Amino acid sequence: MDGQAERPASGGENGAIRKRLPPAERRQQIIDEAVRFFAEVGLEGKTRELARRLGVTQSLLFNYFATKDELIDAVYEKVYIGRLSPDWPERLTDRSVPLRYRLLAFYTEYSALIFEREWMRIFMFSGLDGASLNRRYLKHLGDVILHPLLAETNALARTNTPPKMEDVWNLHGGIVYIGIRQHIYRMPEPPKPQEEIARAIDKYLLFFGIDPGD
């Protein structure tokens, strides 16, 4: 009933011979492209289109992943894993360093990791989907980053209104929103994101009367 079917590989667009990779390598190749693909079009992207971009047949995908959901799980894993470095909780609570520097260091590194189109979009797609990995990530973020950060702020706050968790979320959200604007809404990148992050942090510290050197 078809007569045309798929027709990739065997020479294809470029002259590259793309057949018969070692399975581990092919699997990785598929995941890498799937991350780009799903980040661009969403999790409802079709396997045939993904296969076309890879220059392989659609059926090959199911040789490496039993179902599309399993492929998406691999994409989640690849994207979520390693996004929260395990040494941050320690560094954020190192009181030998002024809080301002700790915050600057954290958000400089963190924004470098998350202000990236693939991460931002897949995070948002999976969030809208209610993916459990997304919820776990946010809980983890709260536990190991934001909550400690509240404690650090509390330890230094000089105002009579004590810092609340919501204040930390506000700091965090204001910074993350830079990436949302850029990668979800595709607005132009702000001139100097690092500077905006620094200002957000200073705003936060000033509100609680925390000196830059504390």
Partner DNA sequence: AACTCTATTGAGCAGATGATCTTTAAATGC
Partner DNA sequence: GCATTTAAAGATCATCTGCTCAATAGAGTT
What's the min distance (Å) between Cβ of 106 and DNA? 38
Q: Which partner in DNA, a copy of itself, none is near 125 (CB below 5 to 8 A by kind)?
A: a copy of itself
What's the min distance (Å) between Cβ of 24 and DNA? 10
By the rule CB under 7 A, 40 interacts with DNA: no
Instruction: List, in order, residues 6 or more apart from 165 with CB less than 8 Å away.
Output: 146, 147, 150
Task: Kindly list the residues in this chain that would bind a copy of itself in the complex (CB under 8 A).
Answer: 42, 44, 121, 124-125, 127-130, 134-135, 138, 166-167, 169-178, 180-181, 184-187, 190, 195-196, 199-200, 202-204, 206-207
Distance CA 32, CA 18 (A): 16
Tokens at 70, concatenated: 């399993």
**x/- map, 50-79, DNA, by CB under 7 A:** -----xxxxxx-xx--xxxx----------
Distance CA 133, CA 130 (A): 9
Q: CB pairs under 8 A, 24+ apart, for 14-21? A: 18/55, 18/56
Q: Which partner in a copy of itself, DNA, none is near 143 (CB below 5 to 8 A by kind)?
A: none
Going from the C-alpha of 153 to that of each of 101, 103, 171, the distances in angstroms are 13, 10, 12
What's the min distance (Å) between Cβ of 123 and a copy of itself? 9
Nearer to DNA, 19 or 192 (CB): 19
Q: Which partner in DNA, a copy of itself, none is near 158 (CB below 5 to 8 A by kind)?
A: none
Q: Which partner in a copy of itself, DNA, none is near 127 (CB below 5 to 8 A by kind)?
A: a copy of itself
What's the min distance (Å) between Cβ of 14 and a copy of itself? 28
Tokens at 159, concatenated: 């105002």
Distance CA 133, CA 148 (A): 22
By the rule CB under 7 A, 24 interacts with DNA: no
Run of H or E including 126: helix 117-128
Q: Which partner in a copy of itself, DNA, none is near 10 (CB below 5 to 8 A by kind)?
A: DNA
Dihedral sign, Cα of residue 181, residue 183, residue 185, residue 186: positive
By the rule CB under 7 A, 194 interacts with DNA: no
Q: Which partner in a copy of itself, DNA, none is near 196 (CB below 5 to 8 A by kind)?
A: a copy of itself
Residue the block writes with tokens 């599309």: 68
Distance CA 19, CA 10 (A): 7
